[in-house]
Chains A and B, each alone.
Chain A
Amino acid sequence: MSNLHFKLYAPYRNRREKDKNAPLMTLVLRSSSPAHRSRTPEDNIAVALDLSSNRVLHYHRFNKASSKVNFPLNILQDPKSRVELRYDLTDTGIWVCSPQVPQLFTDNFDYQTQYDLIKGVLINEEFLGNQIHAHVANSRYCSRVYNFHSYDVVSHDILSRWTHPFVPEITIDEPSFLENYSLLRHNLYLHNTCTLGKNSQVLDCSLIGRGTKIGNRCKITNSVIGNGCTIEDDCVIDGSYIWDGVKIGCQSTITKSFICDSVQVYSGVMVNQGCVLCDSVHVGPKIDLESGTVVHLSSTTDDFDDGEPELSTDFYLGPYLHVLQIKPYDIAQLGDQGKGYVWEKDNGSETGSDASLVLQMWGIMFIYGSESETSSMDSADEDEQDPIMDDDLTTFQREVKESLCGGIEENIQSDNLVLEINSSKYAYNMSVKDVVQTVTKSLLEIATEKTANDPTQYFTNLKMILTHYVPLLLNYNKNGSSQLDCIYSLEGFALNSEATMNCLVKVLMFLYENDVLSEEVILHWNSNPRDNSGTFSPANVREKVKKFIEWLEEAEEEDSEED
């Protein structure tokens, strides 16, 4: 959403004329202070700019809150250039690109997104000579809609007319546009065909669309109500977005929520902060929707493609649509006449937590207090952990686990999996130690997940998995130190998992028999307990495996006697 002047092509063209190849593209960045409400933690960037040429020297995109940004020193190589680190910029998503840009995407198949491209170009700047420039827009409006929060902010800005000439009374679909909406004080937009009942109030930044009927004694604040809606008596609507054709029964309260086309809300329903009601859902009567509930209605025949395109991928709901089965509507949560399913948050998986983050952000103002900043500064003093490394490690772990999981399902040869894991290892620059630990942990996790319902079957399953991967384990546990890593991570996992703990002896025995772990390593591990904080004390582990160790020691003695 932007009303920028597109004059920025001129400096770009000048640069291109001076030098044919170097200036690759110009990013349009909008300056907005860190506390600006249009900013969300999802879209923070820190940019190092050369003040004289406006060249982008470093571009860091925060994918999550991290305490430090690391700027490479080579951007400061030239003492004459003035470098400024800026955190008050947001990416507008407008880029002026040279014809080489599509070519670069073709040549470098690992560039998945534009951010990969920027990163790649900046890293290879010395070799390839490509440069990226920035155009900082200091005036006019420009903002992107990429989550609920920004939807809310941009919509509010449109109603407040920051985006002039793109304001609600100028609509393209109606021929005599200017006459259709009446603009009242405090940014109220009422369509001429809408009707308002007795004693109903519409306050502060609201819009009511064509043919919408509002009953008596309603109160509507900071909300957008679409075309052809019917809102009965005594409703309170605050900070919400209601699309077309929605019917809301009397005495309902809707706070900071999102209601899509043709939804029916029966009377006496309370929709709390952060709810999303998808297309054609019915809710009520007389029910409280918990804050953050997402209700959807999708038949099993609908898969990714149909359903609600507006909501699916853009708002992170897409991947969950296929999980649905034919089942009765969630009447308990949605009321007797409810039609729809409550979307369960899947906290376990990565995207699930992402989506819940988005939902949490909806309607919440981000407060930048000096208190929290300074305290975070203090804690940052002690915080030595490198967040970027950490991130790599988790992605690596996830990838390895996925590979191993797929390996069992599709019965892939261990050799091929070794290749796959090794390529991940290089991609994320992991050490051998990390790989060994990750592989061990992943295998145990897979077994745990498979037998989540029936812990008694745990070892049977684990044994099956381990048997399948004996060649792989042998490959990674060739020397003593790897084996030590393996056994310690096994211990670490067992400390937090009772099922594993119970069959630890069997696992050790299995690994010993298959030559994955040697006798010396097991004995060394046994005599050198590492301090692992978990639900069980390391001593407990030693107790569990005592018999096995004794047996091993005896066997060794016998061996030496024979010699």
Chain B
Amino acid sequence: MNKDNKKPSLFARLFGNRNKQLSFMEEEQLQSPTRMIVRNFLNNKLGMAGLIVFLCIFLFVMIGPKFFILDLSYQDNTQVNVPPTLSMLSIPEGLEGNVKDITPGTTFGVGVDNDGHLYTWGYTKITEVIDVGNIPEEVKEAHIEQIAAGYDHIAAIDDKGNVYVWGNDRLGQTNLPSDITTAMLMKKNLNFKQLEAGFQFSAALTEDGQLYMWGNQNMADIKVRKEYQGNIEKIALTTYNCVALLKDGTVAYVGLQKNAIADQLPEGLDNIVDIAATGNTVAAVDADGKITVWGNASDGLNVIPEMSAKPVELYGGIKHYTALLENGEVISWGNNFHKQATVPESVVEKDIETVFAGFYQNYAITTTGETETWGLKGYAFGTDNLGRDILTRLVNAGQVTMTVGAIAVIISLVIGIILGGVAGYFGGWVDMIVMRIAEVIGGLPFIPFAMILSAIIGTRISVEQRMYLIMVVLGILSWPGTARLIRAQILSQREQEYVTAAQAMGVREKTIVFKHILPNVLSLILVSATLDFATCMLTESTLSYLGFGIAPPTPTWGNMLNGANNSVVIQQYWWRWVFTAAIFGVCTICINLVGDALRDAVDPKSNGR
């Protein structure tokens, strides 16, 4: 023994270079099969990259649904086919600090600065041809004082009392009342003090209390009772109706129709200082700060939160209210799906002068002229044909797809291991029957067979049961591969020396199969399970894509792509399929990479020995 062979010092043992070249004997000693597989796998760069990306996607879709909560019944026809954008609350530079009026639209915002210039931001396209962002030339030249955005049109009034309407003009949105057109022709200024817009109709109120309404009268109640004319202080528009605050401090429904807003109008409302409306309700605040809400209230609109001071002004979005308090604070309540009822911290700290609320957005102007915003910013991945956020659906769909794939693989593994084990263990006629069944099932055309099962059984069960049905069908149809693998392995392992040794030592057959053979086959099972997982996900998505898998509204990556196969969607609504296809493609590629890398790691031939 020479000096080189003495034990290394403690320091060297702790911090020394462990990657030193080992002698042949040492290297051989260190490697148990499991260790070898792990080491081989870790050395495979492609496989590791696949594993890391897959784990990221996996965590994303498993944790994601906690943050992107899916409401299955949700749909919103004002948010249909919105492309990916987060600019719905981004006020253009020229307008910042110089705001005269802002009106939030469905997916866009329109603002006027103190110099009368008009700005639009967000997604201004209503349909393929109608774009409210196309501001008419005469509007660009005019000095605009007031604006109002409806569902598909914008109305504006300039300093000379001229009224402009653009956007969708097919349902009478631009049919101004004759009084206004005459006045415009005569160059007479009607002195408008308020302009509002609802669903395909608009309303303008003059200083002397005259109310003009025009637009699509099939839907909206745009007639004004004679007795209120000249007596109106302020108006608030719901989706289809108009409610007025009269000069004597009472509130009246100005139209002729019978509906919830008119019928439920509370008695004894007086000393009212401000009114506001959401899509289906109206709210009024009196001089004492008491807020009354009526109409078809949902989302807690009629549950007025506690306020630190007296509310003085009210503003209404489509599903939420915002109130400005005496002390400059702001409170929002109602539907909070787009965070439109969550007033941010930065607003709480500041003194607010006024608020512009509408649809799902709020713009607060501070006393120093700054703008604070909260509400619907936009959709990172756009929305689909029912106005649902694609990102939310994508995350939740991933969870469903992976769960279905995993359970289907587990079912197929259990059946495969049991039947394959039985066939390999017993042999003889049992083997013969099991393998024939496996051959038949493996030979059936998979997709058509799953389709007919899903079509026949699936029509009479609930959506949730149908999901289980798909898992079971996938599992039952995909076990033959696993069974064949297990059987072949058991047959070949039985011939190995270690089994002979175990038999010679008198170990029971059952113990040999489960304690000696199975652990040796485990790595191969893992490989086949990984690859099967990808296959099951693919099959599920293909079935869902064809409409025979998991039924909407439950999202899966497959059924989110259902309906994407026409040129209009592919080209114009690309976001409806690109993101889903991309994440799904990346996911299956990664699983296959991992599976391949595992197979190479398990296969001793690939070690180059």
Is the pairing of A and B real?
Answer: no
